[in-house]
Structure 1
Amino acid sequence: MSNSTIRWEQDADGIVVLTLDDPASSANTMNDAYVRSMGETVDRLEREKDAIRGVVLTSAKKTFFAGGNLGSLIQATPETRGDVLEQVTLVKSQLRRLETLGIPVAAAMNGAALGGGLEIALACHHRVVLDDPRVKLGFPEVTLGLLPGGGGIVRSVRLLGLTTALLELLLQGQQLRPEKAMELGLVHELAADRDELIARARAWVLANETAQQPYDVRGYKVPGGTPSSPSLAGNLPAFPANLTKQLKGAPYPAPYSILSAAVESLQVDVDTAFVVEGRYFVDLVVGQTSTNMIQALWFDLNAVNGGASRPEVAETFRATEVGVLGAGMMGAGIAHAFAKVGVEVVLRDVSVEAAEKGKAHVAGLVGKQVSRGRMAQEQADAFLARITPTADAADLAGCDVIVEAVFEDTALKHRVLREAEAHAAPDALLASNTSTLPITGLAEGVQRPADVVGMHFFSPVDKMPLVELIVGERTSDAALARAYDVVRQIGKTPIVVQDSRGFFTSRVFGTLVLEGAALLAEGLAPMSIERAALQAGFPAGPLTLLDEVTLSLPLKISDEAAKAGSVEDHPGLEVLRALVERGRTGKSAGRGFFDWEPEKRVWPGLGELYPAHDGVPFTDAQERLLFAMAVETARCVEERVLTSVEDANIGSIMGIGFPPLYGGVLQYVDQYAGGVAGFVARADELADAYGERFRPPAILLERAVPAGSLRAAVGA
């Protein structure tokens, strides 16, 4: 088997150890070389099985097996569905032949097994996994708009039962640690190290002369029953209803296909079940949603995290001591993020009491980890010991990174950054967590403007994975590279944008929430607005989002823009003013668009202020929310605020809630029916009907004729 991705070694006991080891890649994937190699391997196993005691399948890579070949899957189209079906059927048939050899086959899983990797393992009769918290097992396909197409659904529902497989493995793409996988019955044994891993797998093979999968044994009963079992049949109607509730009505096809394939596969024999699963898989692969999600959440995300927007500065920087200015919710969250990865943090506020309050917020977050068994008390104590609360700027001595997180006031930010600069390390990175104020203006308050960069975290910091880095007019490449490295050091994803008021994320997020307010003024009922957003794929409705950020914030941003000479006449602003004048400023006050106590309910007075009527079609409302963000993003591209399509897509999904099913805000334009030309035509319709804010900018018009893509325009 020349150039094989699978090494064959047979020992004196007759056990064949198959080692997955693609020579052309750092990880094993289900590429063409794997398919060819597995076919050759199974052929040989069938020929020589009389001389083989059993098989141990393991990997030479850091991971066991990385999964499907996404580079190939993203190129699938409806026209190539036959080829896709043929390939996935071949992959399944090879694994089926492996599990029906009649000799014991054990998987020795030395690392992560996600997607196709877990499917290979499930085709083995016995599974031993390395007991390492860094090892993850699962089927993340649903998060990319797909389903496990190599037999993962068929095998998991038969081994675990329908309900367990769906809820614990398939529908949310959970990545399980080894102990959880063993608790579910996904694996059989844990091993402390690689030697023990192989030894346990060999011992099991030697203890079993023959082996069958449980579901191939006559009389096997699936845990929890099949859809024809009375105990399960009565509960089946609740599954799609609960799924719709969980998805909030968003049009994600993969979860519904997973549910259908799982239920249907239990009503037929195993081999027919593989056919059912394969057809659902192909439907998803050739659809637009999976293409969008794979592009954004795999290729674009890997490009961003891999340094696509990082300047070519050779030296990698690591922060050792960070000064955080401002101990409010954001400052405390930033302190938590750095302390979590072992960095010493000086948390400064106007008083020690205020700084201690910020540290107490961190203690609350850490305490939750301890109570859930995810952190030992000794680790928690060491975690909190890394945070030093203070009111004295002199305590910032030695800090190599300063992150300012005080109120959005230019004079205040100038003062605290200047004080920090005077005491921190002489070459310390000076970062501002501002969400709207231009970095170029903030840099005027310090002696070293070249070391100033925007470092915009999102709230809550402990949960939000994105950081927006903003480049001022005098920000050096060295400073940006250090900022990029710092963000990666704390395990977050950095996008890079150029300086402007509101930058990219705040500016585009503002169009979403203000459009929601404008829809209210035009007579759309509050909950219809929220449902329009949720059913379009947004994680929350615009009125809820406005209440959560406070209604006064967009007004303050608008006022600051007006002072700088920019006039904002969005009709949604008048709605916010009307509510603020009535003391309804948002969730923190307990009342905004909603009354939040004792539970969230629409404020009855909204109906008096803005009577509902049938003025805006529901589909128009949905597209207005999407187009408002997309058109403003196109303007950001045109103004060179954005210079990376990957940063735009990932920033919109991970920072401001643009629906992942569209692949990000720029991908939404390119994949719209009719491409950019179709998007432009629809934008003009919306502009004619609802206002010039929807009128497409020149960069879209240029890409519409001849047919082009906005992706190609970025950076051109």
Structure 2
Amino acid sequence: MTEYHWNLDTDGIATITFDASGKSANTMTAAWVAAMEEIIARLGATKDLSGVVLASAKSTFFAGGDLQDILGNVMGADDLFAMIERNKAPFRALEKLPVPVVAAINGAAFGGGYEMCLAANRRIIVASPKAVVGLPEVTLGLLPGAGGIVRLTALLGLKAALPLLTEGTMLPPQTALSLGLVDEIVEGVEDLIPAAKDWIRANPKAATQPWDSRGFRYPGGDADAPKIRQLAMVAPPMLFAKTRGLMKAPERILDIAVNSMRMGFESALRAETRGLCALIPSVEAKAAISFSFFGMQDIRSGRFRPEGAPVTFTKSAVIGAGMMGAGIAWAHASRKLPVALKDVSLEAAEKGKAYSEKLVAKASGRGHMSAEQAAGLLALIEPTATDSPLRGADLIVEAVFEDIDLKRRVIQESFPLLADGGIYGSNTSTLPISVLAESCPDPTRFIGLHFFSPVDRMKIVEIIVGAKTSQDTVRKAYDYARQIGYLPIVVNDSRGFFTSRVFGTFLDEGMQLLQDGVDPVVIERSAWNAGMPVGPFAVQDEISLSLSKMAMVTHKTLDGMLGVVSGFGRQNTATNRIVPAMCDLGRGGRARDKAGFYDYLEDGTKRLWPGLADFVIENRHVPDQDVSDRLIYRQALETLRCLDEGVLRTEVEGNIGSVIAIGFPRHTGGALQFIRSTGIDAFKTRCDQLSSAYGERFKVTAQQLEKLDGYRLAA
């Protein structure tokens, strides 16, 4: 009884309180399975049993399967099938009991935990934002394999269940109640078990599940209902439009959900098991678990944060009220951090605040923010053209144009405004932090804070550590990012850091393919099919060709200033040729010229510019697979080089940053996980092929590959 506590009251109601020994959460381990089998046997042997309450001694109700076990699974198909069938069998036994079963949900119930709740006759949840329920397995490349697909489809009907199953959304109590995932909400945790027992006493004969009742009909229509048949026909192409066929789990979930309505309940449960067996060994599942669960957990838990007491910022300032500065000010105010927004004129600063006003108006219009909340948020942003509101800030973020002389002047003038112990961050995408730090009197308190556009949606910050940045400053910057609700990844200083270097290779390879005679439509479509959010030409237009040209000029100036040739962007030869030429033609990007790689029409549509054909050097007849691989391998290689050079500190941050900041295909689990999943030897072989055909930018060395922990090239 190390996994649970047993209590049988005088009314014959058994309360089973799960309490996994030595763990912070209840999960579906081998010990839990043995405990569940014991529980079912005890319940069956209990005389005068009148009901069962399922509860938890942990702060959460129950999590799903043990992901470490899933990630390390080496079972054969037959053994895996048998294990899953054994794991889920107690749920069927629970709902076959001749007495009512109630789940008393005191905290998060997800995955297998919520599948247990589905096996109960009633689900009662506490009114807490932490008490969320749902089946998020799809986000881990898996499917709900303990009856979740079959039971949720039977409980809600196909139309209502499919979005929850294929998107993996976790729902708070009120939403869960409105959708039918729970049946009752109570105010406090102490109210859960009494409410559960009251319901059992009032409904002593409510032991049969709807799907086990004679004449059961699926909500919204059975399998042969016209609306359901139509939904089953249109759902696959709609799903493909979202997944691009790159993720196996949503497709299997759809197939099982639809077919569960056409077969017996027991057969549907076995089909679900077979579906999970097929997904557990998949590359996509291992990548998703490594990225979405363990990687994110590492970042959010502060695994890479320097040790020290936590810091909370109370007064901040942002210098530069352009697109980035305005977005950063919003990020501060949205998390109740007061911010002074400074620009060269009050009018410019107020224009920056207007960005937040638009976001507030949109949120209010959708009912996501009350008038009082909107006014409170905007009151935290103080536009200014003077230094006075900045004085005494414990954080200043410089966000002026990517011009090194301008940045150095602003930093030198504003650094003294910091409070004692405050830190100064520069929002730069490529300029070396160590060089910028020379402009301030205390470089130990200077750090890079690279936000991404649009700031209100891109919830990640690349924290760049300069040569003299102290660990105390890194710790404070890490806490700052988490305070405003952003994921922090910490990298070391270099030209372009990590994200800009890698992203630049994606843009450049698109232009390299253009030079090689590949149709621009094929290039854009290949990027999308491979899993990138958009193609290289569309994204280059959005970030602006003129800004890219300015960055080139800035780095040449920096080389002259430092007396070095950095080699930054050396392999981006197509970018260096095409971007300046496009700018000279008045095609500096969407925002600036309404023209770039695309023509932007008055009706809001766009089309690729026919003049791109003028940049073709040679029609090399590049195979379709090579087009996709060049776009993806180029980024993976540059990420590996960043790890080899020490720009990246950890693989985890490389994977998280590549997906969230750069847009590397999410189904791969990140650029470095992509290399692991491909296989070290297979990756090198493919790089050798690409290098031989297209140039040294695809070259990889054994030393670089061996930076991936635990991997060595085969002899």
Same fold, TM-score > 0.5, yes or no: yes
Q: State the shift of 1:698 in Å.
A: 4.9
Q: State the shift of 1:654 in Å.
A: 1.2
Query: Which consecutive segments of 4 or more residues in structure 1 shift more than 6 A?
Result: 611-614
Distance in 2 (alpha carbons) for counterparts of 1:698 and 1:269: 55
**Alignment partner of 2:196: what SS?**
helix
Q: State the shift of 1:608 in Å.
A: 4.2
Structure 2 counterpart of 1:273, from 268, 274, 287: 268
Aligned residue identity for 1:499: D
- Which residue number in structure 2 is paired with residue 560 of structure 1? 554
**Alignment partner of 1:66: what SS?**
coil
Whether 2:344 is the aligned partner of 1:347: answer no
The answer as to whether partners of 1:250 and 1:534 remain within 8 angstroms in 2 is: no
- Which residue number in structure 2 is paired with residue 591 of structure 1? 595
Whether 2:206 is the aligned partner of 1:201: answer no
The answer as to whether partners of 1:505 and 1:655 remain within 8 angstroms in 2 is: yes
Whether 2:79 is the aligned partner of 1:83: answer yes
Q: Any residues of structure 2 matched to 1:380-391 within 5 Å, and which?
A: 380-391=374-385
Distance in 2 (alpha carbons) for counterparts of 1:262 and 1:187: 20
- Which residue number in structure 2 is paired with residue 28 of structure 1? 26
Q: State the shift of 1:499 in Å.
A: 0.3
Distance in 2 (alpha carbons) for counterparts of 1:561 and 1:687: 27
Q: Report the CA distance shift for 1:437/1:610 in structure 2 as closer, same or farther (over 3 A).
A: closer
Once the two structures are superposed, residues 46-71 of structure 1 have per-residue CA deviations (whole angstroms, 9 ceiling, x without a partner) of 111x4221111122222111222101
Q: State the shift of 1:131 in Å.
A: 2.1
Total equivalences in the alignment = 699
Distance in 2 (alpha carbons) for counterparts of 1:560 and 1:397: 30
- Which residue number in structure 2 is paired with residue 603 of structure 1? 608
- Which residue number in structure 2 is paired with residue 326 of structure 1? 320
Distance in 1 (alpha carbons) for counterparts of 2:478 and 2:415: 20
Whether 2:376 is the aligned partner of 1:371: answer no
**Alignment partner of 2:652: what SS?**
helix
Structure 2 counterpart of 1:212, from 204, 208, 211: 208
**Alignment partner of 1:237: what SS?**
helix
Q: Report the CA distance shift for 1:350/1:250 in structure 2 as closer, same or farther (over 3 A).
A: farther
Aligned residue identity for 2:259: E
**Alignment partner of 1:486: what SS?**
helix
- Which residue number in structure 2 is paired with residue 233 of structure 1? 229
Q: State the shift of 1:582 in Å.
A: 2.0
Distance in 2 (alpha carbons) for counterparts of 1:272 and 1:606: 59
Q: State the shift of 1:559 in Å.
A: 3.0
Aligned residue identity for 2:662: I
Whether 2:71 is the aligned partner of 1:74: answer yes
Q: State the shift of 1:585 in Å.
A: 1.8
Once the two structures are superposed, residues 208-255 of structure 1 have per-residue CA deviations (whole angstroms, 9 ceiling, x without a partner) of 1122111111111101223333332233221111111122x2411111
Q: State the shift of 1:270 in Å.
A: 0.9
Structure 1 counterpart of 2:638, from 632, 635, 659: 632
**Alignment partner of 1:400: what SS?**
strand
Greater mean deviation of Cα atoms: 320-329 or 228-237:
228-237
Whether 2:574 is the aligned partner of 1:572: answer yes
Whether 2:514 is the aligned partner of 1:508: answer no
- Which residue number in structure 2 is paired with residue 124 of structure 1? 120
**Alignment partner of 2:16: what SS?**
strand
Whether 2:618 is the aligned partner of 1:615: answer no
Distance in 1 (alpha carbons) for counterparts of 2:366 and 2:64: 31
Once the two structures are superposed, residues 257-277 of structure 1 have per-residue CA deviations (whole angstroms, 9 ceiling, x without a partner) of 111111122111111111000
TM-score (norm 1): 0.94
- Which residue number in structure 1 is paired with residue 562 of structure 2? none
Structure 1 counterpart of 2:584, from 577, 581, 585: 581
Aligned residue identity for 1:29: T
The answer as to whether partners of 1:518 and 1:575 remain within 8 angstroms in 2 is: no
Structure 1 counterpart of 2:652, from 646, 668, 676: 646
Q: Report the CA distance shift for 1:613/1:601 in structure 2 as closer, same or farther (over 3 A).
A: farther
Once the two structures are superposed, residues 65-98 of structure 1 have per-residue CA deviations (whole angstroms, 9 ceiling, x without a partner) of 1222101001124x53333222221121110100
The answer as to whether partners of 2:141 and 2:248 remain within 8 angstroms in 1 is: yes
Q: State the shift of 1:430 in Å.
A: 0.7
The answer as to whether partners of 1:393 and 1:419 remain within 8 angstroms in 2 is: no
Sequence identity (%): 43
**Alignment partner of 2:254: what SS?**
helix
TM-score (norm 2): 0.94
- Unpaired segments ≥5 residues, structure 1: 704-708
Whether 2:543 is the aligned partner of 1:549: answer yes
The answer as to whether partners of 1:250 and 1:536 remain within 8 angstroms in 2 is: no
Distance in 2 (alpha carbons) for counterparts of 1:223 and 1:459: 43
- Unpaired segments ≥5 residues, structure 2: 560-564
**Alignment partner of 2:485: what SS?**
coil
Distance in 1 (alpha carbons) for counterparts of 2:130 and 2:598: 43
Distance in 1 (alpha carbons) for counterparts of 2:138 and 2:368: 26
Once the two structures are superposed, residues 288-337 of structure 1 have per-residue CA deviations (whole angstroms, 9 ceiling, x without a partner) of 1101111122112212222232223x221111111111122221221222
**Alignment partner of 1:156: what SS?**
helix
Distance in 2 (alpha carbons) for counterparts of 1:203 and 1:410: 70
The answer as to whether partners of 1:327 and 1:354 remain within 8 angstroms in 2 is: yes
**Alignment partner of 2:359: what SS?**
helix
The answer as to whether partners of 1:594 and 1:600 remain within 8 angstroms in 2 is: no
Whether 2:675 is the aligned partner of 1:669: answer yes
Q: Any residues of structure 2 matched to 1:429-440 within 5 Å, and which?
A: 429-440=423-434
Aligned residue identity for 2:528: L
Q: State the shift of 1:669 in Å.
A: 1.2
Greater mean deviation of Cα atoms: 612-621 or 16-25:
612-621
The answer as to whether partners of 2:340 and 2:389 remain within 8 angstroms in 1 is: yes
Q: Any residues of structure 2 matched to 1:13-52 within 5 Å, and which?
A: 13-48=11-46, 50-52=47-49
Whether 2:298 is the aligned partner of 1:308: answer no
Distance in 2 (alpha carbons) for counterparts of 1:375 and 1:26: 35
The answer as to whether partners of 1:530 and 1:542 remain within 8 angstroms in 2 is: yes
- Which residue number in structure 2 is paired with residue 706 of structure 1? none
Structure 2 counterpart of 1:539, from 518, 525, 533: 533
